Structure 1
Amino acid sequence: MTSIARTLRPAASRLLSRSSQPYRALPFAARAFSASRAAHIKKYSKDHEWVEMSTDNKTAMIGISEYAAHALGDVVYVELPTVPLEVAAGDSIGAVESVKSASDINAPITCKVTAVNSLLEEKPGSINHGPEDDSAAGGWVAKVEVPEAGVRDFEGLMDEKAYKEFTEE
């Protein structure tokens, strides 16, 4: 997809080059725009779930890690949490079944489940293709509201580097 700014640049340069005067201000401002997602912080639990916290520490997304998805193999069923559901860190919010095994999905932080990825009920294999993808077609499990206790739980989780070291042990 081409950005508006990239589309306008050729037009702006043609307008400037046609001008017989040395430099003339354009009747519009040509600025470069970029669409970037708000910064989120992702951390991991020892149970192989990830949490991506919003910058305001009020909402987050939860899913299983790529390591867990790979270890499970082809996922054939995902049990999603009910909405709304208040849970403490470590409580089960769902389950994942694969051709190899089954595993609970535990809440890595204290939170309130506000939405679930219902695509996983229809296409459970989506979790294998993008377990840490938080887009509409990704393998995220739940969107949650995070109270103060959840923010404290989040601070105790592993960052990406620490999680990678943890899984290599």
Structure 2
Amino acid sequence: MKTNYSLLFYLKKPKHYTSGPVPIYLRLTVAGKRAETAAGREIDPARWNSKTGRGSGSKENTKTLNAYLDTLLAKVQQAHQSLISSGKAITAENLRNAFGGKAEKQCLLMEVPLLPAAQHILSRYQDHPQYENTGLLLPVLSNQKMNAYLKEIADLCGIPFHPPPPPMLFLH
């Protein structure tokens, strides 16, 4: 399924704007629905051509900005192609997320082998009401909580959770 989209670069002035550079935004429109994201660059409004969606002038920094905007355009086109090839719905939000590198959260169930002693302990609680109601004997933890527990265990075991960076070598 091929769905067309439109892309527009525009300036978005802050509420209390007086003067100076203004952030450039990128607007994606698919089937009338919009999604916006910051382009990560700024320009003086006097040097912006709103019809072309590019900086005007021949200075080096304007040429660099326009090349950057062309790169963003190419990345959006690539994201559009990847959505088409993966068969995902092409919406303004999906296109922005694919372009911005935001991945969908994935739910992945894993089987973890247990030692016989752990299996014996868990087998004692097979008739527990929590297991009968939810089918889960142990709580399902969030990544944040799991990381906190791992840090705590690492501290108790004397394992640095974040290893120190390698030593720097200085050559003379």
Greater share of residues in strand: 1
Using structure 1 for the length normalisation, give the TM-score: 0.23
Q: TM-score, normalised by structure 2?
A: 0.23
Q: Which is helix-richer, 1 or 2? A: 2
Larger Rg: 2
